[in-house]
Structure 1
Amino acid sequence: MKKNVVIGFLGTQMDAGKRRKWRPSVQLCEHPDFPVERFELLHDARWRSLAGKIKAAIQSVSPGTEVLLNEINIDNPWDFEQVYGALFDFAQNYGFDDEREQYHVHLTTGTHVAQICWFLLAESRHVPAKLVQTGPPRNNTPDIGTLQVIDLDLSKYNALQQRFERVSGEYNTLLKGGIETRNPVFNALIERMEVVVSNSDAPLLLVGPTGTGKSDLAARLYELKLQRRRIKGRLVHVNCSTLQGERAMSTLFGHRRGAMAGAQSERGGLLKEADGGVLFLDEIDELGLDEQAMILHAVESGKYFPLGSDYEVTSRFHLIAGASRDLAGLVAQGKFRADLYARLNLWTFRLPALRERPEDIAPNLEYEFEKVGKMLGNQVAFNADALPAYLRFATDPSTPWPGNFRDLGASVQRMCTLSPRGRVTLPMVQDEIATLQRIWKDAHADADAVLLAEVLGEGAAQIDLFDQAQLASAIRICRESKSLSAAGRRLFAVSRLEKKSRNDADRLRKYLEKFGLDWAQLVQ
């Protein structure tokens, strides 16, 4: 059985018996069901005489208890930094033996600051101890008073654990918008996100195709941060795709009067609006490189220069960024700053497309019907044969849902609007499916086929489907490159390493000639 070891401060008032006969350090060692093999008594050099008296008193009531006096000199016992530092040093140098001894920290003695420091050191396991709280005698208690051992291992407290899990579940429900999602990948993402947001103020990056719900999720993340008291300010939502040129700088960072044409008065800017709150930069991949540099500086330092100002402005905010494109690819192309991407990439969450979450279509469909019903003031529902027909189409792997939840929401709104009697029938579902297919066909025609038809005319129809994607990709890279050689280097970047002759321009020229094309024809 492990030996009980108690570590505690000398009570300069209570152990001296100035307030009552009960002396906590002495009576602690008298409890028959809590034998103390060793008492590490901490005291200041000024109280050396009292410490010696308490040691003698303990050994008189509990001869089996070894009392070791430890001098720890603290000038101000109410100075948190000084007390914590002294106790931390004591813990670092002590040499705990967990296998043979069981340690307890006595909380009753010492200042409130010392007790808080003991708690922090024990909770962080710098001091591998349980807490012991003693109290004076009360009615129907023995003269030695009360003693309670507090174990900080929260996993042992089932009720607390269940409460934590319940609260965590409530936060997850908040992040999911109250929708009972079933997709395991999405649910795991939400659980991880809740942990990160509750414990970190670092930037978050939400990536995923358009319409996957990045804006809605950012608003819910803001609500969670607000509930967890990590922020106090407002949510500022910025669609970066609408910010262009000098006006982008002014909108984000503000300007001084006369900083540019038409600047008749000062402007604070959206970063200033987000001070103390959350700045959501949606479509951050659309920001210019100069704006990206200033955003990075503002995130890291909490300061930035408004246009036309010689003095920095302070704004401390939490950043959430949204992107529909691959930022790593944009970094490789020189279209996104590598340093900003590195800062954002600490916590990246990829939102799966709707077609990747077939299990979640039914609950999201129910959610959309309820939302649209409130908007129209008319609750609408499917007929018994209509719902299965819609779900078969919606969950079919061949159904693309290119606009993701935007497409789903628009589909529900059309059906609800066309159902004045509150029922969606099977013919209405069939009409809606046909509408969706027509919209997707018109809006999302085969981009490769369109490009080849533009370049080759009727000859595009004579190219095998296998070759169409390769040729279309080569044409796009040619149009993006400054020269035939530059295009060749991009197209043959891997295979060229294995060749002795690296004439990429000649390889590309011969490839294009197979289809009757040349460089000048593509870039004119």
Structure 2
Amino acid sequence: MKRHVLISAIGTTLDVGKGPDRWSRWRPTVSLHQHEDLLIERTILLYGRRATTLSKLLADDIALVSPETEVERVLFDPRDPWDFEEVYEALSAFARERDFDPAADDTLIHLTTGTHVFQICAFLLAESRHIPGKLIQSSPPAKKEALPGNYSIIDLDLSRYDRLAQRFESEREEGTSFLRGGIETRNAAYGAMIDRMEKVAVRSTAPLLLTGPTGAGKSVLARRLYELKRARHVVEGEFVRLNCATLRGEETVPQLFGQKRGWHGAASERRGLLRAADKGVLFLDEIEQLGPDDQALLLDAVETGRFYPLGADRPSESRFQLIAGTSENLARLVADGSFRADLYARLNLWTFRLPGLAERREDIEANLELELTKATREAGGKIALAADARAAYLRFATDPAAPWSGNFRDLAASASRMATLAERGRVTKGLVEEECALLRRQWAGTARDEDADVIAAAIGDPEAASRLDRFDLVQLADVIRVCQTSRTLSEAGRVLFAASRKKKASANDADRLKKYLARFGLEFGELSV
């Protein structure tokens, strides 16, 4: 049978007692040895230098109430008992120096005495098995005559703790489901990104950067991140959103940083969005639209929590979390001097790229259902897709030829149109075919302009596309897009030459792609994210 070994930090308030009267008081360390159903064979008393005398008295009293107990007094004296780092290191050192024998000893770690910092550190070391033992908590009796009180033992390896751990895991899964909009994604990369984002959202208030094509859902996700943070008590202020593309010249500073009353005849003080976001979240979409001076002011406000409203001679204060959104490659903008390197470095701590709808075709069906549900609420009636209509729409939507250039905005608009035109709440195959034809016309009308913009941005020449045949324009634009979403040259080559590489005994996709880009004066490193 295993022997019970107790580790207990002396409680300099609860364990104190002098004279005969001390036996009428509940003293956790001594009382724990008075339970008839708990025989403690060995006790390790952790004490600080100021409690040396008290530690001797407790050892003597334990010997009186439990002669079978061997008491070892161990000096445990971190400089600051309220400093987590010091206490954890001191307790870790104690654990490293001990030769624990789980096969022979049932170690109990007393969590009733010691500072709260000690108790938390002891829990962490028990949970990580640095101290291989169980937790024991003692409590005073309801009536004095009911000494020695009560105790409970918590085994972190048993089901009760597992249920608690499962509860936290369930809450985490609820958080990721909330960020996904309630849709269980089938896209592994997107699912992994959301898992990581949930951890960052509840653990950090550092700036966060959301990138991805227009319509990928950056604004929606930014609000969900805020709502998750608010629910987990990470922030307590408001969610403030601004699309920086709407700012106009001299209005930028007063709108962001505020304006003092009387400045240039202003009849009232202007609060500014930074102050409105105090203790909350400020989401700046299309952040690349801010001018260099405004970027510098924003960076200083993020780092110091202080800024000067226009016309003010005293700073205002606001502690907010910044979430920035962009569809541009900020690293490239830094390279060409149109975006500040120091602000980008601050934003780039946590960067999440949202894939476009064309990169998540396996999730189109679930998102279609979501959009039809929204359309149903707006229409005030039930909207249903006939089976053949659903199959026809999904064949079209998931086909690699469907570019989904507007991403989720295109899908939402498509669902809204079908819901509006549905007769008696039923979307037929004929209506789906009309909708698919409409989307093809829309995409055909915008594809050439979008391809030209992609090529112009990559080459750095607004007229580059005009000198290309249509054949080359479409092909080059697609190659550039693949490179921009690939981590390596080889990965981009595998995507672009997926069919032909299967017919080869050995493939050199990276070299083929490198030579192709060189024809247009491009290098992969200039295009990749």
Instruction: Report the TM-score range of the alignment, normalised by the length of the smaller protein.
Output: 0.7 to 0.9
Paired residues for 1:162-311 under 5 Å: 162-260=166-264, 263-311=266-314
**Partner of 2:42 in structure 1?**
37
Q: Deviation of residue 68 (structure 1)?
A: 3.7
4+ runs of 1 displaced by more than 6 Å? Answer: 71-75, 83-86, 153-156, 448-452, 454-459
Aligned residue type for 2:226: Y
Q: Is the 8 A contact 1:211 1:406 kept in 2?
A: yes
Distance 2:204 2:437 in 1: 47
**Partner of 2:422 in structure 1?**
419
Distance 2:227 2:467 in 1: 56
Give the secondary-structure state (helix, strand or coil) at the position aligned to 1:157: helix
Q: 1:91 to 1:17 in 2, by over 3 A?
A: farther
Q: Deviation of residue 13 (structure 1)?
A: 3.5
2:436 is the alignment partner of 1:433: yes
Paired residues for 1:341-360 under 5 Å: 341-360=344-363
Q: Is the 8 A contact 2:216 2:407 kept in 1?
A: yes
Distance 1:223 1:90 in 2: 39
**Superimposed CA distance per residue, residues 274-324 of structure 1 (whole angstroms, 9 cap, x where no aligned partner):** 112110001111111111111111111111111122211001111111111
Distance 1:273 1:292 in 2: 19
Q: Is the 8 A contact 2:45 2:55 kept in 1?
A: no
**Partner of 1:497 in structure 2?**
none
Q: 1:130 to 1:12 in 2, by over 3 A?
A: same
2:32 is the alignment partner of 1:25: no
**Partner of 1:315 in structure 2?**
318
Q: 1:404 to 1:230 in 2, by over 3 A?
A: same
Distance 2:149 2:110 in 1: 14
Q: Quick check: which has more Rg, 1 or 2? A: 1
Distance 2:415 2:190 in 1: 22
Distance 2:140 2:278 in 1: 50
Distance 1:106 1:358 in 2: 55
Distance 1:85 1:382 in 2: 60
Aligned residue type for 1:39: I
**Partner of 1:465 in structure 2?**
472
Q: Is the 8 A contact 2:123 2:135 kept in 1?
A: no
Using structure 1 for the length normalisation, give the TM-score: 0.77
Q: Is the 8 A contact 1:154 1:160 kept in 2?
A: no
**Partner of 2:493 in structure 1?**
none
Q: Is the 8 A contact 2:112 2:137 kept in 1?
A: yes
Q: Deviation of residue 222 (structure 1)?
A: 1.1
Q: Deviation of residue 58 (structure 1)?
A: 2.4
Aligned residue type for 2:435: E
**Partner of 2:490 in structure 1?**
none
**Partner of 1:499 in structure 2?**
none
| Pairing partner for 1:157 from 151, 161, 166 | 161
Distance 1:88 1:164 in 2: 24
| Uncovered stretches (5+) of structure 1, i.e. residues with no partner | 474-507, 513-524
Give the secondary-structure state (helix, strand or coil) at the position aligned to 2:387: coil
Distance 1:55 1:256 in 2: 68
Give the secondary-structure state (helix, strand or coil) at the position aligned to 2:41: coil
Q: Is the 8 A contact 2:6 2:110 kept in 1?
A: no
Aligned residue type for 1:465: D
Distance 2:206 2:467 in 1: 54
Aligned residue type for 1:200: S
Q: Among all aligned residue pairs of Structure 1 and Structure 2, give the percentage whose two residues are the same amino acid.
A: 44
Q: Is the 8 A contact 1:6 1:36 kept in 2?
A: no
Paired residues for 1:469-484 under 5 Å: 469=476
Give the secondary-structure state (helix, strand or coil) at the position aligned to 1:56: helix
**Superimposed CA distance per residue, residues 2-26 of structure 1 (whole angstroms, 9 cap, x where no aligned partner):** 8724222151149975362765433
State the Cα RMSD in Å. Answer: 3.9
Q: 1:17 to 1:152 in 2, by over 3 A?
A: farther
Distance 2:444 2:279 in 1: 46
| Uncovered stretches (5+) of structure 2, i.e. residues with no partner | 457-461, 481-517, 522-529
Greater alpha carbon shift after TM alignment, 148-157 vs 388-397: 148-157
Distance 1:154 1:311 in 2: 58
Distance 1:335 1:16 in 2: 80
Give the secondary-structure state (helix, strand or coil) at the position aligned to 1:132: strand
Greater alpha carbon shift after TM alignment, 207-216 vs 28-37: 28-37
**Partner of 1:55 in structure 2?**
59
Aligned residue type for 2:207: P
Distance 1:193 1:142 in 2: 52
Distance 2:335 2:290 in 1: 16
